[in-house]
Amino acid sequence: MTLGCKLNFSETSGIATILEDNGYEVHEDECDADLVVINTCTVTELANKKSRQAINKMVQQNPKAKVVAMGCYSQLKPEEVSRLEGVDIVIGSENKFRILEYLSELEKTDKKIISIDQTINGRSFTPTYSSGDRTRSFLKVQDGCDYYCSYCAIPKARGTSRSGNIEQTIKKAEEIVSKGIKEIILTGVNIGDFGKNTEETFFGLLQKLDKVKGLERLRISSIEPNLLTPEIIKYVSESETIMPHFHIPLQCATDNLLRKMRRRYTTSLYRQRVELIRSIMPDACIAADYIVGVPGETSEEFEKSVEFIGKLDISYLHVFTYSERDDTLAVKMEGQVPVNIRKQRSKIVHELSDMKKSVFINKHLGEARSVLFESVNNDNMIGGFTDNYIRVEVPYNENMKNKIEMVSLVLLQNNGNVLGEIK
């Protein structure tokens, strides 16, 4: 079971491969498994809660199984995780790929095993990719972060920034393509930092990936605005493989709050990046992350933020409500926003995001766009994403899975998906 980000999904697949290569079989139903592995998340306090709930649920559903809790929540709160009933092994971020060692050790002892490297120094990098979906794969190209934003616990959970080299990454991409997968999504903690330890660059990686034979679609996942250079944006606009889709964290929307949160850009730079994308890729999807209720977000600061976002030509937002994290600078800052105010503001920004998404989608109704079809949903429809990341569905046809088709975008439905017609 995987919680949290796409990086976790990529790593879980890598761990599953290690287990399968050593005689384990994957069960679709966790209740039938002898071993349950839960890859946890700690990006917010809510993520911690969901991780605990997932562990407790698995133990209740399958009390006879050996339970391994690993990942970011386990890294930051190992004793807390180890106290959960039914947990046999607790593994931190640095050691998760050594799971076979701990399983072997468990056979020799009745005691719980806790393996946490308290100082993740970024010595190791293990490239992985997700393989559960035969049409899209999340390829891990980078791990860790050196930014230490004042609200974020991830650098302590993931360690310092590191990556493989371009040659190693290209081999993984070719391996993915050889499995018949048509789309790769690049993932990491701070992917724009790729190559920091190898004297290579993320731009250089994109140029090489763009030439991988048989790769039909490539997407850039979340990338910091200061690392999304004009050079990269221009290259994406000229590529037939890299999709016109950007996920650019904003987090705060006034320069005062950006400074307090130790972000490495200004609102002016963020606006420039969005405007450059729109000027050369007017149809591109541009998503932003935004955190509501950070310390110092006064009513005036919030109003300025909403005004800035309202004028920004983005497609939608991922809205997070600030939650206090142990051992971060923000938890000790003045100007903590009451929880009820955070919830009120979150609702306002969610509504703003919904409006922007509706405008973005409606702008493209009537167009024909390429769609990679992936799955069947409950209403006997098959769905997929356009090049610019609009979710489209059409009546189910088994032969369309993992096919790229031109589709007319007809109607925005109540479920948020667009009803399409095959051209």
Could you tell me whether strands 66-71 and 35-40 are parallel, antiparallel, or unpaired per DSSP bridges? parallel
Average pLDDT over residues 392-418: 94
Q: Report how far residue 125's alpha carbon sits from residue 122's, in angstroms, rounded to the nearest whole number.
A: 7
Q: Report how far residue 122's alpha carbon sits from residue 188's, in angstroms, rounded to the nearest whole number.
A: 14
DSSP 8-state class, residue 418: E
> Is residue 154 scored above 90 in pLDDT?
no
- The CA-based dihedral angle spanning residues 98, 104, 109, 113, taken in that order and rounded to the nearest 10 degrees: 10
Q: Which residues contact 107 (CB under 8 A, 6 or more apart)?
A: none
Q: pLDDT by residue (tens digit) across 23-50?
A: 988 877 777 788 999 999 988 888 899 9
Q: Which residues contact 64 (CB under 8 A, 6 or more apart)?
A: 34
Q: For the chain, give the number of residues.
A: 423
Residue 292 amino acid letter: V
Q: What is the pLDDT of residue 108?
A: 83
**Confidence bin at 392 (pLDDT 50/70/90):** very high
Read off φ and ψ for residue 263, nearest 5 degrees: -80, 160
Q: What is the pLDDT of residue 182?
A: 95
What stretch of H or E contains 420? strand 418-422
The Cβ of residue 240 has, within 10 Å, a number of other Cβ atoms equal to 8
Q: Report how far residue 241's alpha carbon sits from residue 173's, in angstroms, rounded to the nearest whole number.
A: 13
> Is residue 134 scored above 80 in pLDDT?
no
Q: Which residues contact 91 (CB under 8 A, 6 or more apart)?
A: 68, 69, 70, 71, 74, 98, 99, 102, 115, 116
What angle, rounded to 10 degrees, do the helices at 202-209 and 166-178 form?
A: 30
**Mean per-residue pLDDT over the chain, rounded:** 92
**Confidence bin at 122 (pLDDT 50/70/90):** low
**CB under 8 Å, gap of 24 or more: what pairs does 303-306 form?**
304/253, 304/254, 305/252, 305/253, 305/254, 305/257, 306/253, 306/348, 306/349, 306/352
**Confidence bin at 124 (pLDDT 50/70/90):** confident
Average pLDDT over residues 368-394: 92
Domain 6-115 carries which CATH code? 3.40.50.12160
Over pLDDT 90: what percentage of the chain? 71
Greater model confidence, 174 or 117:
174
Q: Report how far residue 132's alpha carbon sits from residue 134's, in angstroms, rounded to the nearest whole number.
A: 6
Name which of 64-68, 163-167, 282-286 the model is least confident about.
Answer: 64-68
pTM for this structure? 0.91
Q: What is the pLDDT of residue 363?
A: 97
Could you tell me whether strands 142-143 and 89-91 are parallel, antiparallel, or unpaired per DSSP bridges? unpaired
**Confidence bin at 95 (pLDDT 50/70/90):** confident
Q: What is the pLDDT of residue 32?
A: 77
**The CATH fold of domain 120-243:** Transcription Regulator spoIIAA (3.30.750)
